[in-house]
Amino acid sequence: AEEQEGMRKQVVLVKPFSLDDEKDSEHTTSNLIQRILSLFKNVRPGSDLTNFQLPPQLNLPRSQLQCYGEMVYSLNGQDLLGECGRRDKPIERLKSIVTWNLSTLRPLIFGLAPYNPIVGETHHVSNGYVNVLVEQASISHHPPVSALHATHEKENIDVTFCQYFTPKFRGAYVDVEVKGKRVVKLLNQKETYEMNQPRLVMTILPVTGAHWAGKIVIKCLETGLEAELQLLSDSFLSRFTGNNKRSIKGKIFESSSGRRLYELFGQWDRTVTAKNLKTGEVEVIYNASENIAELKTPIVKNMQEVSESESAMVWSEVSEGIMKQEWEKAREGKRDVEEKQRESRRQREASGQSWIPKHFSVVRAGKDWDCVPLQPRVPQAPIVVPL
């Protein structure tokens, strides 16, 4: 019991960042903005910020792997992923894939970023029928590659993400290009949906802010159906032309002929609507307040099965320090994590060993990376989202 209690202290789980949390204004204080500006005073425009180190005061109390996982397993009692497999018609399944994709967009806090994961770090959580496993799968720092595998036990759905990003300082803003692809396989229907990822833009001047931007393309080769979503940036120009913050415009169409079937419009943090261009019927396909508000904090269900590589354990001291605003403790914890990673790298180099991911095969094809899960199913996790 004493050993289990000691382990429990090493696992720090935090509430997923959700729609209602962005109202917290403490993260937009002038002191925070001044600290951010001071960090960039010696950085030239165009510089790669992949290995840019942040002080704990500018970190969210979670790893980037946890952020990736939350996009899939943290929904407010909704099974949007399972719904994709329950639809009878191909067009309805694509609409459900669009809805699920919208649910992975979450509000951003300007000036705060998650921890950069260490190689071999994992995050394993279950929510109902959805089991999610994320691993920092690449030892490369240019860029570091994260891999996600999720499976839906009941509807026989398989999801893989291969994620890596290149942040660039542009003077008045930081532009983060999120590369890699997302693949959703509806195995019962023998359909594969491939989609790309939006960009992240953090503006510093003239007004601070953080938002998603760019185009999301979702394709299904088997059905010949495709969707495009344009995320309209929260810029002065977009506001001047009448586009609201976080607006979305898009379409669903036949890939071969280009014939439009639906028009999509709305705001991803409110509602998104689809209009049937044949019948004129309009329906709300996504409601953010029903899906990404008041999200629940995961809990540890089985302490003995929690891996030592689990993000909530690796960064526990740092997260605890940040949550209690004990900044020296957070700094020491961060130094310890980074030093352990350096020591592990030195040992591998001394023995001539190369890093091999535990859960994924990571391969490079040209300039891109691909991540293939080593197991067909993600097992139930020792950390779960409570009902």
pLDDT value of residue 98:
98
What confidence tens digit (pLDDT) does each residue in 70-112 have?
A: 999 999 988 999 999 999 999 999 999 999 999 999 988 877 8
What is the β-pairing status of strands 157-169 and 282-287?
Answer: unpaired
Q: Considering only CA atoms, which of 196, 192, 194 is closest in space to residue 212?
A: 196
Residues 143-182 pLDDT 10s: 789 999 999 999 999 999 998 888 888 878 888 888 888 9
Q: State the pLDDT at residue 118.
A: 93
pTM of the model: 0.89
Residue 243 predicted with pLDDT over 50: no
Which of 269, 192, 182 is closest to 223 using CA atoms? 192
pLDDT score of 189: 98
Supply the pLDDT for residue 4: 47
Nearest 5°: phi and psi at 48? -80, 125
Q: What percent of the chain has pLDDT over 90?
A: 63
Q: How much is the pLDDT for 355?
A: 86
Distance CA(339)–CA(331), nearest Å, equals 12
Q: Which amino acid is at 101?
A: N
Q: List beta partners, residue 245.
A: none
Q: Which two tokens stand for residue 246?
A: 């976080």
Average pLDDT over residues 34-51: 58
| pLDDT above 90: residue 235 | no
Average pLDDT on 349-354 reads 89
- pLDDT for residue 117: 93
240-249, 279-288, 303-312, 357-366: range with lowest mean pLDDT: 240-249
For residue 216, is pLDDT > 50?
yes
Rounded Cα distance, 264 and 249, in Å = 6
Q: What's the pLDDT score for residue 162?
A: 93
pLDDT in tens, 317-326: 999 999 999 9
**pLDDT (tens digit, 9 = 90+) per residue, 171-211?**
788 888 888 889 999 999 999 999 999 998 888 777 777 88
What integer pLDDT is reported at residue 205 of this predicted model? 77
Q: Which amino acid is at 77?
A: G
**What pLDDT sits at residue 144?**
83
The phi and psi torsions of 366 (rounded to 5 degrees) equal 70, -125
Average pLDDT, the chain: 87
302: pLDDT confidence band, cut at 50, 70 and 90?
Answer: very high
Task: Please report, for residues 71, 182, 243, 378, the alpha-carbon distance to residue 124 in angstroms, rounded to integers and kept in the order given.
Answer: 13, 18, 38, 9
- Note the helical H segments in the chain: 2-8, 30-39, 64-73, 80-86, 90-103, 236-240, 288-291, 311-314, 316-323, 327-351
Tens digit of each residue's pLDDT (9 = 90 or more) over 117-144? 999 999 999 999 999 999 998 765 557 8
Residue 362: which residues within 8 A CB-CB, separation 6 or more?
137, 138, 145, 147, 162, 369, 370, 371, 372
Q: Which residues pair with 147 in a beta bridge?
A: 135, 162
pLDDT score for 65? 96
pLDDT score, position 5:
44
pLDDT for 276 beyond 90? yes
